[in-house]
Structure 1
Amino acid sequence: MTQTALITGASRGLGAALARALAPTHHIIAVAKTTGALEELDDQIKAAGGAATLAPMDITNDAAMQTLCRGIHDRWGALNMWMHTAVHAAPLAPASMIDAKDMAKSVAGNVTATATLITYVAPLLGTEGTAVFFDDPKAGATFYGSYGATKAAQIALARSWKAETVKTGPRVHIATPNAMPTATRARFHPGEDRSPLADPQTEAVRILAELGA
């Protein structure tokens, strides 16, 4: 039976690295807004002998996520793994100067979409599947108001789901990646020395090893 892995936020960074790492053993369902980056990922997966289904969608679009999850059910019947790396990274700003539109996008992308996806993906994972979320403990850090607060809320949702499913499944895991030279980090820390940062592919392999995947 084909093992399936849904990766939300798969176009670059850790999401793409996880897709490449899982491709030898899983059919990858790659979700992201950037079609070109998804196609590049697809080429990499195919070159390594794997297979992927590309879903160029916005996770904040409820109808699109319903369609995606119904399609997964109709084609495979279930999911083995969900890796949720998608995140909205609003520009850094003092708490007293957070732009209302940036805050709304942060809530929609990091909190509301996560809560909605949990309700749609949970039945696909059943009792045996695994969901993985990725903590970034920036809550309370200087200038990280909108990102830090909404990322913390996302992880709070994941922790609640984890506590609720200890006996019933699915297994919910919260990983904390080391700092990586991603596009998101580059926007937060322009001009920093990136040489000490962890390679996303190395982090993907480490996190999957922690999961026993």
Structure 2
Amino acid sequence: MTQKIALVTGASRGLGSAMAEQLALRGWHVVAVARTVGGLEDLDDRVKRAGLPGAGGLTLAPMDVTTDDAMRHLCRSIHDRWGGLGLWVHTAIHAAPLAPAGHIDPKDWDKSIATNTRATGMLIPMVEPLLRAHRGTALFLDDPQAGKPFFGAYGATKAAQIALARSWQAETAKHGPRVMIQTPAPLPTATRARFFPGEDRARLADVQAEAARLLDLL
């Protein structure tokens, strides 16, 4: 197998969608995972419209990263079809509404833990053998909001995700897979708009350009 295979979790919107698009345009075959079918179809349309020679393809996987059996089946399918992964980009996130720590909605808290922290802890053991098989790289994207006012649910669970990634990074430093953690520039995504309504979005970085920059670091 000579084709480069990437898994992007959280690929229907924002930076995850841009990363999946940039990878496909660079010749990777991308397994794009997200709950939003329409977003995945838009991603597929953009790649096809580009029509670049040498572009890779997409396998659309409309599923929830918190569903263990579905993700386990997907990873098994990746193994059976391609033997492994060259890259895993993990951008799936639940952005709970901002709220004082004393007024966090229990449903938002549970969903934040399930998506931002628990799913990451479940996915790493599933994906690690696939990355080892192709000497691949895992890329996590930090958003250091922990400890800031009203960011309790999002900040705490995102920080826990990155702490887990840092442990994995330290454990695999000698023998792989390579684990990278980057902090993207502020971007005009729907998630950021929820956190910072009224912000001058013209001052934020272009999502496609930032996706290209992050992939260049690989």
**TM-score, reference length from structure 1:** 0.97
* Aligned mate of 2:86, from 56, 80, 99: 80
Matching residue of 2:211: 204
Flag structure 2 segments of 5+ consecutive residues without an equivalent.
none
Matched, 1:157 2:159: no
* Aligned mate of 1:148, from 150, 155, 163: 155
Q: What is the distance in 2 between the residues matched to 1:35 and 1:92?
A: 26
Matched, 1:117 2:123: yes
- Superposition deviation, residue 21 in structure 1: 1.1
Matched, 1:71 2:73: no
* Aligned mate of 2:57, from 28, 51, 70: 51
Matching residue of 2:11: 10
- Superposition deviation, residue 46 in structure 1: 2.2
- Superposition deviation, residue 129 in structure 1: 0.5
* Aligned mate of 2:140, from 133, 138, 141: 133
Aligned residue pairs: how many?
A: 211
Matching residue of 1:190: 197
Q: What is the distance in 1 between the residues matched to 2:39 and 2:68?
A: 22
Flag structure 1 segments of 5+ consecutive residues without an equivalent.
none
**TM-score, reference length from structure 2:** 0.95
Matched, 1:33 2:35: yes
CA RMSD of aligned residues (A): 0.9
SS of 1:195 mapped into structure 2: helix
Matching residue of 1:179: 186
Could you tell me which amino acid in structure 1 is paired with residue 137 of structure 2? Answer: T
Could you tell me which amino acid in structure 2 is paired with residue 28 of structure 1? Answer: V
Q: What is the distance in 1 between the residues matched to 2:35 and 2:14?
A: 14
CA deviation vs aligned residue, 1:164-185 (integer Å, no higher than 9, x gap): 0010100000010011000111
Could you tell me which amino acid in structure 1 is paired with residue 146 of structure 2? Answer: A
Comparing 46-55 and 181-190, the one that deviates more: 46-55
Matching residue of 2:101: 95
Q: What's the % identity of the aligned pairs?
A: 64
CA deviation vs aligned residue, 1:29-75 (integer Å, no higher than 9, x gap): 00000001101101112233431000000000011101110111111
Moved over 3 A (4+): none
